[in-house]
Amino acid sequence: MSADHVSYTLDSTLETVNNAEETAGRMAAEAGFDDEEIMKISMAVREAAVNAVLHGNAYDPSKKVTLAFERTARDFVIIIRDQGKGLDPGKIPDPLAPDNLLKTSGRGIFLIRSFMDVVEIHPSQTGTELRMIKHVHGNPADSKEAPQ
Amino acid sequence: MTMKSSTRQVDGVTIVDLSGRITLGEGSVILRETVRDLLSKGQKKILLNLGDVNYIDSSGIGELVSAYTTAKNQGGDLKLLHLTKKVHDLLQITKLYTVFDVKEDEAAAVKSFSK
């Protein structure tokens, strides 16, 4: 597979969440992933888009979400950036902790980490960049970052 | 893509047949309003039939938790019926499968509610 890169600049709307999910599913299918993996990738992207639109940009119409896909011989890489205050990875509660099980939110990052092979969170003063990788079939997978 | 909801009564239990996607936005709102409406009318034995729910995101999971805790807090009970594999797997990895009372058979599920 040759390197392939595409990126989108999107509004901070619910429509962006749905579009990101659909685009991820389509591109994952084109990359040759099976139905199960396509579902996981598209759901991870949906959760990341929800974080960017809802928690990062807080639906602010002046703030944008950047969604980028990159296909290499080894990896399917997805990067989502928002223009929010910056997500502190150290402050993400464990949704599996007994005290958090019945909370109605806080599972998005956990699901992303469950579904993708590598997840990196890069917060800054200008927003948060979430980098997700799914290894392409037939290639040895690197060790999974932040296993749950 | 959207979610549909309909209710029916069986032996004092309100069965909510859901289909489609329970996700951030319309799907989550429909579920929330349906359960709140039932509880406000005193229908506190609720069985959510998720057999035709083919997709649920973290917001939908949160809405299920909210429905469960809201029903419990009002002296009611809320159980789940006919999970699809996707929803089952999601509840497993989030450890919510042990929180919810999940049923596979409708008649047995209805009987399981206290009289």
CB contact under 8 A, B25 and A14: yes
| pLDDT, position A98 | 94
Span B1-27, pLDDT tens digits: 578 999 999 999 999 999 999 999 888
pLDDT tens digit sequence for B44-94: 999 999 999 989 999 999 999 999 999 999 999 999 999 999 999 999 999
Of B58, B94, B99, the CB nearest to A47: B58
Task: Pull the structure tokens for residue A19.
Answer: 């579009």
Q: What percent of chain A has pLDDT over 70?
A: 91
Q: Do B58 and A111 touch (CB under 8 A)?
A: yes
Closest approach of B63 to chain A, Cα-based (Å): 7
Would you say A21 and A40 are in contact if contact means Cβ atoms under 8 Å apart? no
Nearest CA to B47 among B21, B70, B74, B68? B68
**Binary contact (A102, B69; C-beta < 8 A):** yes
Asked if A107 lies within 8 A of B94 by C-beta distance, the reply is yes
Q: How confident is the model at residue A147 (pLDDT cuts 50, 70, 90)?
A: very low
Instruction: List the single residue in A54, A101, A105 with the smallest CB-CB distance to B99.
Output: A101
Give the CA-trace dihedral at A51, A53, A55, A60, to 10 degrees.
170
Strand ranges, E, within chain A: 4-11, 64-71, 75-81, 118-124, 127-135
Q: Chain B within 8 Å of A50 (Cβ-Cβ)?
A: yes
Q: Which of A107, A115, A116 to mutate to test the interface with B (most CBs of B within 10 A)?
A: A107
**How much is the pLDDT for B48?**
98
A96–B57 C-beta distance less than 8 A? no
Query: For residues A148 and B81, which has the higher predicted lDDT (pLDDT)?
Result: B81
Distance from CA of B83 to the nearest CA of A (A): 17
pLDDT tier at A3, thresholds 50, 70, 90: low
State the residue for tokens 């992207």: A45
**pLDDT of B38 higher than 70:** yes
**What is the band of A137 on the pLDDT scale with cuts at 50, 70, 90?**
confident
The mean pLDDT of A129-146, rounded to a whole number, is: 71
Give the bridge partners for A81, in sequence order: A66, A129
Give the model's pLDDT for residue B26.
84
Q: Kindly write down the DSSP assignment for every residue of B11-79, as one continuous string.
A: TTEEEEEEEEEE-TTHHHHHHHHHHHHHHHTT--EEEEEEEEEEEE-HHHHHHHHHHHHHHHHTT-EEE
Residue A146 pLDDT exceeds 60:
no
- Hey, is the C-beta of B2 within 8 angstroms of any chain A C-beta? no
Looking at residues A39-55, what average pLDDT do you find? 96
By the CB < 8 Å criterion, does B93 face chain A?
Answer: yes
Which of A38-42, A68-72, B25-29, B75-79 comes out lowest in average pLDDT? B25-29
Distance CA(B100)–CA(B68), nearest Å, equals 8
Please give the angle made by the CA atoms of A37, A103 and B16, to the nearest 5 degrees: 75
B7: enclosing H helix or E strand? strand B4-10
Nearest-angstrom CA–CA distance, B48 and B106: 10
How many Cβ atoms from other residues are within 10 Å of residue B95's Cβ? Answer: 14
